[in-house]
Structure 1
């Protein structure tokens, strides 16, 4: 949250917006909407504001306190003289207490709270990166699944046309029942596959709605990711230095050292000064002038020094120290766990990214080869050298290679972005979001850390993230252009004259 220099990733996303068609939704727009309205990030900001308040709460223990109390008493049964049990009595008292020394408890409590504020700010950066990674994955999931649904839709259309042609040719005796059965079986499988991928697309679109808050429109192809590392070791080196979750764990570890000092202060003396003023009024119940110089009213003013030296507290301070030490041991282990997670995430994301790039290269070659193969099989079928089954198999192989290609492109992009997130380079300031002023948690902290008024309440909380109840249910409709090669008949043999009364074979 403290870096202000935009990276190449922000420039790449900006250029993508400039080049995208006006009606298309870009990845940068989706990220900006999620940044503003996703309940995970807005809730994390509220949680951080609550953490900010721990600093003035800790400071309040070392500030002067002022209190007052009053009472009015009427005694119905009295014994003794009127000076000890007057008939009526009203009292008022005003006390000022100024603590001077608390064994370091206040100072260390403030330091612990300030350190946890820094940890929370770093954690908020990590929440941003995690959310953006989810949005990038959801965005690419929709693009991938739309492409897969489109490919399978084309496959079903072609197989439907081919089945009708096979039946026509069967009627004139050019094909056998086996050819027709093969076409029917392949069409049934294609329809089942289409239903499955349509359900997957609907799920991806609903997940997009959950994260972004609106239905996905026509999604523009995301821009290339810049500044990806050259090696896994290079990624890990940057991640260990800049990953916000690891930095937050380190700050939480530092805060526990102050907690131990606070617990140890429970065995030390405390010192404070007090000023007390009092007023008493017997409400005329003394029966007039007593003749002893005692009037119906009186005032007092006293100054004192308060010293508390704990001698025995039943083992409570030692238990608190041991508890704080155990919490520090937990924080130390959490740092190691966070470090391991960062290393694992960086290496895994790098491996998936590299593997997906290789799959993309191989799949592109496979698609090109399968296109050529399909054209060749169709041409050979037209002269009788290939069967319908050969064409169906060639078409299925092309479909499979295209699905593999779009899936690998999705996996490469998501893994690349996850790698940037692990390296601490995929947060709001890195992306250059067009979402107005970015949220800066330090602004709220600077506003509240020095407050001391007992009546400086904040505004009443209101929800920020909108509901998605009014977003229409998503469907599996695809409007992207189809592949011309797949959007054509499987069987390109010359049309034959069909005979309604032709004998079956």
Structure 2
């Protein structure tokens, strides 16, 4: 009996069930939102970025502290012994002093600009952390759909291996009855061996993809929900590259962070220039201690002035400091700040150009993906028809087995390309939104609406209508005998 090969037959053989059979109930699977939430709670990179942000925020109160009152207190205890050479006498003095000093900056331009720079740096850190959070949204989706892509490719590889196995069996049957030579068997065997090797690689990639989920979330997953083929594949809205670029220039988080970096550099330059300006502080001081320690020693030469053992001293005043020359330090710091400002401006411009480029490229990529999905879907139908025609030609002797094997490879390549184009569309759409600064968890929620809990890659890697049509063709096709 001569068995024709088809996509439906290969899938049935690969899964070990008939198309008409009911799907086996699968365990509860993890969805995209759950993976993202686990990543938010457990991802090490996000935790490190949060710690960095919280640490960088502290520059603001640290810089503000230089403008606030400074209060300090202290004490000193001394034991002084004085020996006189001219006469055999020694004077011993014990001193005890407590003191407190309060100072309030009145004019500190450098500290003021340092505070302004710190606020800009804090805002920069906030936006960079927000960008890292946005990166995690995209990374969660990329890791999730990498698993689905790997599973669909594995399912395709299984079906391809099954198809080549059937082709090998048929070649052996034809050889046994003298309808073909040994070359056909060897060609079929080589194709089958290659398909088997490809299936083993595909299995490894599935394991690698699941391991990436573990790295992302610190949690093991046995199964995840798959993407339905009914996901709308539509151009970006609005389908205007300039509109997306304008949005990206205004909202891209890393570009906005670079604006704050420039602002911080400008304030730092002002701070360095202020190093040439005078400073003015109000200072109040209180001291209490024995009279000798505070310099109020009783003198025998003036018995009319006598200090008690303890003396209180209070003072309040202004301290003016005028910098005249510091060895060229301040001038050097100003020159350095000019270059740092230039550096930050050039970095911002480079970031802006990259954002514009990425946005335009991703906008084109999404539109290309839309056309690719439609074209790849049609390619499956065309290659299936081509395979059937080639098989018929092989049966009547107008085509050889190499033609059949090549047609099979093209069919399964079309299936892989179709599924890859679907996932490319999903991820490129998310990347476009990230470039525009609009990506949020809501985008993952929208995708989750099209996830299928009972998704079985071995059956669902094909669109349902194509799978059904292939199954109907298989059932209606008469078996030929030779």
Q: What TM-score range do you get, normalising by the shorter chain?
A: 0.7 to 0.9
Deviations 1:102-159 (A, max 9, x none): 1x22222221111222222222222222222222222222111111111111221232
Q: Distance in 2 between matches of 1:144 and 1:492?
A: 35
2:280 is aligned with 1:274: no
Which residue number corresponds to residue 115 of structure 2?
110
- Tell whether the 8 Å contact from 1:289 to 1:295 is kept in structure 2 after alignment: no
Higher RCO (CA-CA < 8 Å; seq separation 6+):
1
Secondary structure of 1:99's aligned partner: strand
Q: Distance in 2 between matches of 1:92 and 1:384?
A: 113
Counterparts in 2 of 1:48 and 1:129: CA distance versus 1, 3 Å: same
Which residue number corresponds to residue 195 of structure 2?
190
Task: Find 1:133's aligned residue among 117, 135, 138.
Answer: 138
Q: Distance in 1 between matches of 2:351 and 2:461?
A: 46
Which residue number corresponds to residue 98 of structure 1?
104
Counterparts in 2 of 1:232 and 1:213: CA distance versus 1, 3 Å: farther
Secondary structure of 2:72's aligned partner: strand
Which residue number corresponds to residue 266 of structure 2?
257
2:212 is aligned with 1:199: no
Following TM superposition, by how much is the alpha carbon of 1:432 offset from its aligned partner in structure 2, in angstroms? 6.6
Q: Distance in 1 between matches of 2:390 and 2:478?
A: 10
- Tell whether the 8 Å contact from 1:86 to 1:282 is kept in structure 2 after alignment: no
Task: Find 1:341's aligned residue among 332, 336, 354.
Answer: 354
Task: Find 2:436's aligned residue among 401, 423, 426.
Answer: 423
Following TM superposition, by how much is the alpha carbon of 1:166 offset from its aligned partner in structure 2, in angstroms? 2.9
> Which segment drifts farther, 135-144 or 93-102?
135-144
Q: Equivalences for 1:296-375 in 2 at 5 Å? A: 296-375=309-388
Following TM superposition, by how much is the alpha carbon of 1:249 offset from its aligned partner in structure 2, in angstroms? 0.8
Counterparts in 2 of 1:289 and 1:260: CA distance versus 1, 3 Å: closer
Task: Find 1:29's aligned residue among 34, 56, 67.
Answer: 34
Following TM superposition, by how much is the alpha carbon of 1:32 offset from its aligned partner in structure 2, in angstroms? 2.6
Following TM superposition, by how much is the alpha carbon of 1:321 offset from its aligned partner in structure 2, in angstroms? 1.1
More helix by share: 2
Following TM superposition, by how much is the alpha carbon of 1:60 offset from its aligned partner in structure 2, in angstroms? 0.5
Following TM superposition, by how much is the alpha carbon of 1:423 offset from its aligned partner in structure 2, in angstroms? 0.7
Following TM superposition, by how much is the alpha carbon of 1:304 offset from its aligned partner in structure 2, in angstroms? 2.2
Secondary structure of 2:226's aligned partner: coil
Task: Find 2:156's aligned residue among 151, 155, 160.
Answer: 151
Secondary structure of 2:154's aligned partner: helix
Q: Distance in 1 between matches of 2:146 and 2:389?
A: 33
> Which segment drifts farther, 21-30 or 93-102?
21-30
When the two structures are superposed, what TM-score results if normalisation uses the length of structure 2? 0.79
- Tell whether the 8 Å contact from 1:228 to 1:416 is kept in structure 2 after alignment: no
Which residue number corresponds to residue 38 of structure 1?
43
- Tell whether the 8 Å contact from 1:420 to 1:426 is kept in structure 2 after alignment: yes
Counterparts in 2 of 1:403 and 1:176: CA distance versus 1, 3 Å: same
Unaligned 5+ segments in structure 2 are 1-25, 447-455
Q: Equivalences for 1:473-492 in 2 at 5 Å? A: 481=460
Which residue number corresponds to residue 438 of structure 1?
none
2:413 is aligned with 1:404: no
Deviations 1:204-246 (A, max 9, x none): 2222322233344223317658863302222111111111111
Q: Distance in 2 between matches of 1:158 and 1:120?
A: 56
Deviations 1:319-353 (A, max 9, x none): 11111111111111111011101101101111222
When the two structures are superposed, what TM-score results if normalisation uses the length of structure 1? 0.76
> Which segment drifts farther, 33-42 or 336-345?
33-42
Counterparts in 2 of 1:416 and 1:402: CA distance versus 1, 3 Å: same
- Tell whether the 8 Å contact from 1:267 to 1:317 is kept in structure 2 after alignment: yes
Q: Equivalences for 1:379-458 in 2 at 5 Å? A: 379=392, 381=394, 387-428=400-441
Secondary structure of 1:295's aligned partner: coil
Following TM superposition, by how much is the alpha carbon of 1:295 offset from its aligned partner in structure 2, in angstroms? 3.0
Q: Distance in 2 between matches of 1:335 and 1:389?
A: 57
Q: Distance in 2 between matches of 1:357 and 1:363?
A: 10
Q: Distance in 1 between matches of 2:277 and 2:442?
A: 47
- The aligned length equals 427
Q: Distance in 1 between matches of 2:438 and 2:49?
A: 20
Which residue number corresponds to residue 221 of structure 1?
227
Q: Distance in 1 between matches of 2:459 and 2:92?
A: 95
Following TM superposition, by how much is the alpha carbon of 1:96 offset from its aligned partner in structure 2, in angstroms? 1.1
Deviations 1:50-89 (A, max 9, x none): 12111111110011111112122223454499xx964322
Tell me the C-alpha RMSD between the 2 structures: 3.4
Secondary structure of 1:75's aligned partner: strand
- Tell whether the 8 Å contact from 1:352 to 1:415 is kept in structure 2 after alignment: yes
Q: Distance in 2 between matches of 1:198 and 1:219?
A: 18
Deviations 1:230-268 (A, max 9, x none): 022221111111111111111111121111111111111
- Tell whether the 8 Å contact from 1:378 to 1:492 is kept in structure 2 after alignment: no
